[in-house]
Amino acid sequence: MVVRITGMARSTIARGVEEIKQKPEAESTRIRKPGGGRKPKRIADATLLADLRRLVEPATRGDPMRALLWTSKSLRHLSQALVAQGHSVCAMVVADCLHELGYSLQANRKTQEGSEHMDRNAQFQYLNDQAMAFLRANEPVISVDTKKKELVGNYKNNGREWHPKATPELVNVHDFIDPKLGRAVPYGVYDIADNKGWVSVGTDHDTASFAVQAIRRWWTAMGQERYPQASRLLITADAGGSNGHRVRLWKIELQALADELRTPITVCHLPPGTSKWNKIEHRLFSLGTIYLTPTVTITRMGT
């Protein structure tokens, strides 16, 4: 009956019956016996893993005398380099071998601060003492900075959104600046004591005049109401950009603002390379989409 149904030879079926009798507990899902089939490349090729490790080990980075440079360590280039050494592998086999060696795809991580100035701690201590003195006297202390400039218009943004299938949002092919809309320059002012922020968005250039104008707008709209008895103002800022410590126009515009408000203005610049320590980076710009909606002011400033 089995011969008629399957079309197999009687001898083949008889051998199968004998195997079942000999190993009744055998796994019914296996086709081959344990150990059957082709052996993995890393087993069949004894030197494959060793040669691959030499190609990707950190000591080979940037060495022009090595067979492969760190800038070309893709699976395709690794497989080509191994083939040139006499191995028969493809990119997928290289990926399996890398996982077995303990490698994985990883992005860079920003952790190294570099060398520090001998008085770096004293500099931060001075900034903190200044800010605490102003806060104890209920005087305004603000942190200012410029956020990343963005193109205004129908441009591609990284990331994905849910849309009906096969109906993506259509955007411009090239990221050329629109001469009519310009480029958005968000300049933020963060009130440390009140934990509130203000963002002025310019469409021209990130200049010192624009930076001081953003501070002036913050004071007119929020600052003077929050600090009606203020007798001085402290500004903490980065050492570069439109509010850099060497920008003469920044000092001239601040002096004009101080004369206008009849209020002394003190500026504390963070040391170079420490812009991430600025309060506005963590308290305002990290929540930019929340703060931008209610308090956006479009300002066009000349160069």
Mean pLDDT for the stretch of residues 148-160: 79
Band of pLDDT at residue 295, cut at 50, 70 and 90: very low
pLDDT, one tens digit per residue, over 162-175 is 778 888 888 888 88
pLDDT at 233 over 70: yes
What pLDDT, on a 0 to 100 scale, did the predictor assign at position 303? Answer: 30
pLDDT at 15 over 80: yes
Band of pLDDT at residue 262, cut at 50, 70 and 90: very high
- In this predicted structure, which of 61-65, 230-234, 246-250 has the lowest mean pLDDT? 61-65
CA distance 133 to 125: 12
What pLDDT, on a 0 to 100 scale, did the predictor assign at position 116? Answer: 64
Q: For the chain, percent helix, then strand, then coil, each to nearest 5? A: 40, 15, 45
Helix axes 75-84, 91-100, angle to 10 degrees: 100
| Number of neighbours of residue 144 by Cβ within 10 angstroms | 26
pLDDT at 278 over 90: no
In order of their start, the domains of the chain are: 36-105 (no CATH), 121-152+178-299 (3.30.420)
Return the amino acid letter for 120: R
Give the residue with greater pLDDT, 10 vs 31: 10
pLDDT, one tens digit per residue, over 86-114 is 998 898 998 888 888 887 777 777 766 66
From residue 3, alpha-carbon distances to 8, 9, 12, 190, 287 in Å are 5, 6, 10, 85, 74
What pLDDT, on a 0 to 100 scale, did the predictor assign at position 181? Answer: 79
What pLDDT, on a 0 to 100 scale, did the predictor assign at position 259? Answer: 95
Mean pLDDT for the stretch of residues 63-88: 72
Angle 194-198-203 from CA coordinates, rounded to 5°: 170
What pLDDT, on a 0 to 100 scale, did the predictor assign at position 176? Answer: 83
Give the residue with greater pLDDT, 291 vs 55: 55
pLDDT, one tens digit per residue, over 210-223 is 999 999 999 999 99
Helix H or strand E segment including 267: strand 265-269
Give the residue with greater pLDDT, 27 vs 217: 217
pLDDT at 209 over 70: yes
CA distance 140 to 135: 7
Residue 169 Cα to chain centre, angstroms: 24
Helix H or strand E segment including 190: strand 183-191
| Contact between 188 and 284 (Cβ < 8 Å) | yes
What pLDDT, on a 0 to 100 scale, did the predictor assign at position 218? Answer: 95
Residue 176 Cα to chain centre, angstroms: 23
